[in-house]
Amino acid sequence: MLLRLVSLAALFGLLFGFDEGVIAGALPLITKTFDISVTAEGFLTAAVPLGAVAGAILAAMYADSLGRRKVLILCSVLFAAGSVASGLAMRQEELVVARLILGVGIGASALAAPMFLAELAPAKYRGAVVSAFQLMITVGILVSYLLDMALEPLGAWRWMLALGAAPAVVALVGIFLSPESPRWLAMNGARDEAISVIGQVQPHLSKDKITHIVDEIEASKSADDKVPDWGVFLSDKVRPLVIFTIVAFVLQQVSGINAVIYYAPTIMSHAGFDGASTQLAATVGIGVVNVLMTVVAMFVVDRFGRRPLFILGFLGATVSLAVIAYAMQADRPDLAPVGLAGLFAYIAFFAVSLGPLPWLYMSELFPLALRSRGMAMASVANWSCNFIVVFAFPLVVAQFGAPATFSIFSACCALGAVFSWFYAPETKGVSLEEIERHHSGVVA
């Protein structure tokens, strides 16, 4: 049951990655079809993270009242509708609206799916389980790159975008047949059903142990059983969590990852690789490294801990991005292999650290009664910064050049290394209830 639910929830990560990555290969063909400007290109590409801001807010509003499962059902519908609408778009404006719809689905599922996974998983495996969501994001990106490479010679950008509807339908059927998060059930008075779900997910536990887990969940509810107001996020116990998770996501985005994901073929062009097929082939290589290193992250996150990986990831990204900036010097095609190596190294450090850890921290640190709203604040910061980076990237490159742009990304990662050294907590092997007790009194 645990493996099935993890696979299902992680499928939303695949949809997330597919709909983010597919635009990389489709964009050059779309710009020919609609003859759009550099600014319009930036907005079209950034429509997904812009829609994701709204999706994160909506998920925060309804994840507690509807439940994690129903939010994910709605996300599946949005993914399917947005994919089909993207493929059928006859005007640039229609394509932007379709991408906004996909963004809403991504933003909502990026909040609800890690929450669903964290609340299902035993503490011992929670890091790997929640990282499965990040793994499937990378798988989705790789699948989209492979699809782009296969369809690019045909100019079939509509099929590139529309085929995202297929996994969306699978996700819809799967989540419709799945149980709700046991922690959400216990918080909403469905004690017997919560016990049943935990028993299915962790069949090795005794009935007394399962009952004890549910008792702890119920004990974490506020004393008067009312939803805490927003002012609690300013309390001395919770405010540091809010600041840390928001800053972690901002630093993740200003590392430049989504500029790389959305504009990978363009970056390959700046690095000295000529020809669309060569650029897409190198882009697929990025996707492969991304997947493989995320698998590594799943094995090491619960062994070595969150904090050491976070520090290492920022340090490695700092050096890798500096190498990329150096290799992008004008009139130095001989440095193209150096730039590609730097790009692969950057993706490796990101995948093993900067990619999964902010999502994992976000799903772990907030007390249960505050989790959906706390995660929403972090998600809104994430997607807002994502939008700014993706929208501004082609404009900044046009104004200052690719080397300067990647130097900025490198400096931001250096700042991230300092931040993680001083502020990153360690939650390896600690149950969600133990983490909550550490912040005791904040929801009373």
What mean pLDDT do residues 62-87 have?
Answer: 91
Tokens found for residue 339: 């730039």
34-64 per-position pLDDT tens digit = 877 777 777 888 888 889 889 988 887 887 7
Q: Does pLDDT of 176 surpass 90? A: no
Say what the pLDDT of residue 418 is.
95
Task: Give every CB contact of residue 66 below 8 A, 6+ residues apart in sequence.
Answer: none
The string of pLDDT tens digits covering residues 364-381 is 788 777 777 887 888 888
Confidence of residue 74 (pLDDT cuts 50, 70, 90): very high
Q: Lowest-confidence range among 15-19, 206-210, 250-254?
A: 206-210
What's the pLDDT score for residue 51?
92
Query: 340 burial class (0-12, 13-18, 19+ CB within 10 angstroms)?
Result: buried
Q: What was the pLDDT predicted at 442?
A: 43
Does residue 243 lie in a domain region?
A: yes
Reading the block at residue 285, the tokens are 């290589």
What is the mean pLDDT of the segment spanning 82-88?
Answer: 95
Residue 395 lies inside a defined structural domain of this protein: yes
**Is 206 within a domain?**
no
| Residue 92 confidence (pLDDT) above 60 | yes
Question: How far is Cα 342 from Cα 282, in angstroms, rounded to an integer?
Answer: 13
Q: Which CA distances in Å does 255 have to 134, 286, 418? A: 17, 16, 14
Give the pLDDT score at 172: 92
User: Residue 137: what pLDDT?
Assistant: 84
Name the residue with higher pLDDT: 215 or 107. 107
Q: At what angle do helices 371-400 and 356-365 cross, to 10 degrees?
A: 150
Asked whether residue 91 is domain-assigned, the answer is yes
The domain that contains 164 carries what CATH number?
1.20.1250.20
Distance CA 63, CA 312 (A): 34
In the block, tokens 């399917």 appear at: 80
| Amino acid 227: pLDDT | 61
> Would 212 be classed as within a structural domain?
no
Angle CA 261–63–256, to nearest 5 = 15
State residue 105 phi and psi, 5-degree precision: -65, -40
Instruction: Please check the confidence at residue 167 and state whether its pLDDT lies above 80.
Output: yes
- Whether the per-residue pLDDT at 98 is higher than 90: the answer is yes
pLDDT at position 342: 87
Residue 437 has pLDDT above 70, yes or no: no
What is the structure's pLDDT at 135? 80
Phi and psi of 283, rounded to 5°? -65, -40
Give the model's pLDDT for residue 443. Answer: 40
Contact 200, 231 (CB under 8 A): no
Phi, psi dihedrals of residue 165, rounded to the nearest 5°: -70, -25
**What digits encode the pLDDT tens for the residues 190-242?**
888 888 888 887 778 788 888 887 887 777 665 445 566 777 787 777 888 88
Tell me, what's the pLDDT at 13?
A: 87
Structure-block tokens of residue 315: 């340090």
CA 183 to chain centre: 22
Could you give the number of structural domains in the chain?
1
Q: What is the pLDDT of residue 314?
A: 96
List the single range of 91-95, 142-146, 420-424, 439-443 with lowest mean pLDDT.
439-443
Domain-embedded: residue 194: no
- The answer to whether the pTM exceeds 0.85 is no
How many percent of the chain have pLDDT more than 90?
A: 22
| Whole-number average pLDDT of the chain | 82
Domain hosting residue 101, numbered range: 2-178+220-438
Structural domain contains residue 189: no
**What is the distance between the terminal CA atoms of the chain, rounded to a whole angstrom?**
34
Mean pLDDT for 14-23 is 86
Q: Is 382 contained in some domain?
A: yes
3-state secondary structure the chain: CHHHHHHHHHHHHHHHHHHHHHHHHHHHHHHHHHCCCHHHHHHHHHHHHHHHHHHHHHHHHHCCCCCHHHHHHHHHHHHHHHHHHHHHCCCHHHHHHHHHHHHHHHHHHHHHHHHHHHHHCCHHHHHHHHHHHHHHHHHHHHHHHHHHHHHHHHCCHHHHHHCCHHHHHHHHHHHHCCCCCHHHHHHCCCHHHHHHHHHHHCCCCCHHHHHHHHHHHHHCCCCCCCCCCHHHHHCCCCHHHHHHHHHHHHHHHHCCHHHHHHCHHHHHHHCCCCCHHHHHHHHHHHHHHHHHHHHHHHHHHHHHCHHHHHHHHHHHHHHHHHHHHHHCCCCCHHHHHHHHHHHHHHHHHHHHHHCHHHHHHHHHHCCHHHHHHHHHHHHHHHHHHHHHHHHHHHHHHHHHCHHHHHHHHHHHHHHHHHHHHHHCCCCCCCCHHHHHHHCCCCCC
| Confidence at residue 75, expressed as pLDDT on a 0 to 100 scale | 94
* Chain mean position to CA 235: 28
Least confident of 84-98, 190-204, 294-308, 325-339: 325-339
The residue length of the chain stands at 444
Average pLDDT over residues 241-270: 81
Confidence class for position 29, pLDDT limits 50, 70, 90: confident
